[in-house]
Structure 1
Amino acid sequence: MFLYEKDLKETFWKAYNGKGRAKRYQFECPIREGNADLVTVEYHGPTDSYQFNAFEFKREDLKKAFLQAEANLKYVNKSWIVIPMEKEKVINDRYLNYLKEKKYIGVIGVKDGGYYKIIYQPWFQKEPIQSQALIKVCMLNL
């Protein structure tokens, strides 16, 4: 179990981006009021397309996580909530209908050792709104 949200974020990020999956990324990205915890730009070769993802990390207060993920939706293709794996049952018991309704919000569970699993796979939103903050993320290190 993660004692701090920071530990959850660092453990997930090390496993998720260990081989450079995200071409660009920014923690605390100002795509909305209050910032998204993490935004990534990822390239998918077979479809020759880029995907924008937003991530919200929460140990507790899942309602707040869903509100934040929903606020990120208009700017990204997929919005993710990253939680400790121990919360998987809560997601399946309480939030499955909400996730099906929202379509573009997904949930990832993380274990202490870095293993992560997609608990709920979201759909791909084709036309998110481009924001100045996302353009800056894309331009980092160029």
Structure 2
Amino acid sequence: MTSADIVSLPKKWSSDDWQSNWVPGVQVGNVVYVSGITATDIDGNPVGIGDFKAQVERCLEKLQDVLRRAGGTLADVAKLTTYLAPDADADAVRAYFDIRASYFGQHGPASTGVTVHSLHRKEYLLEIDAIAYLKED
């Protein structure tokens, strides 16, 4: 079995008890598996409540942060999965792809989008997880 390294966040996001059990990402060799990311502030409170675009941007900023801590960038993302709240309409999906393109370019990673019954909190409009492959030095 390959050993895995935890991508840690030095109490930057939340001081809540749940964070001690939550792992932002795990690196196995050159692959980083990023846990689901929602739009929260550094204290774990939802941000951009009711504002889909603000939540997309916050999720992608947090994804960048996790990857940076692992030694990577968004350019290293090979697979992106986006879980959308049930009320995400066609306009929200178009906005998502426009914002995503501003972070990844027009030809971003392979991706899957799923509309789910609900997310962890009703304030969350989406959740993103990713798999990245870090280039060797």
| Common fold by TM > 0.5 | no
TM (norm. structure 1) is 0.39
If each structure's strand is expressed as a fraction of its own residues, which one has the higher value? 1
